[in-house]
Amino acid sequence: FPVTIEEEVISGSCGSHSEIIRYWLATDSCGNIGELTQHVFIQDTTVPEFITSLETVIYSDCESLPSVPEVVAVDNSNSVSVTYEETQESGDCTSQSKIFRRWTATDACGNVSILEQEVVLSCGIKIYNALTPNGDGKNDVFYLEGIECYPNNKVEIFNRYGAKVFETSSCIVTGK
């Protein structure tokens, strides 16, 4: 029996998706026709891969906060777009916080990969130098912003001539 084969290719929603329809037709000597149809669906399910390597957790102070690195992702057959978002969360005390960095790579077929990095910030103590306790509401209190992050601290104050005028240990300031 002679068999004929036909094939039709239908493009899908992205470059790597398609459908192949194959038809087999067989005709016997009496003119009877037998038909077989096959559907082959091709889908891209491979997620993009980040080729940029990052440390998942880094530590920094506020003065030398590392810049946001440029991140690159590739895919098996499609172009990839990479988006970036960042959130910040307060820490247990005023001079500590965390930055959460997140890159999302999406290919043309909607496959997604995520890369995340956490930046732990410790920003030290901010010292306000002016102190005028005269009741006017301006600089009436000696305030060391962030000292509560260092419970075993020691504070010493010297006058302009180098003489120690104040000393304390484990100073915790609860408000400004």
CB atoms within 10 A of CB 49: 13
Residues in the chain: 176
- pTM here is 0.66
**Integer angstrom CA distances of residue 166 from 96, 142, 159:** 27, 12, 9
Contact 145, 95 (CB under 8 A): yes
**Integer angstrom CA distances of residue 120 from 50, 61, 96, 97, 123:** 23, 8, 8, 6, 10
Amino acid at 123: C
Per-residue pLDDT for the chain (176 aa), expressed as one digit of tens each? 688 999 999 988 787 788 899 999 998 888 888 999 999 998 888 899 999 999 999 999 888 888 999 999 998 877 899 999 999 998 877 778 899 999 999 998 889 999 999 999 887 787 877 778 888 988 888 788 778 777 788 888 888 899 999 888 877 655 44
3-state SS class at 170: coil
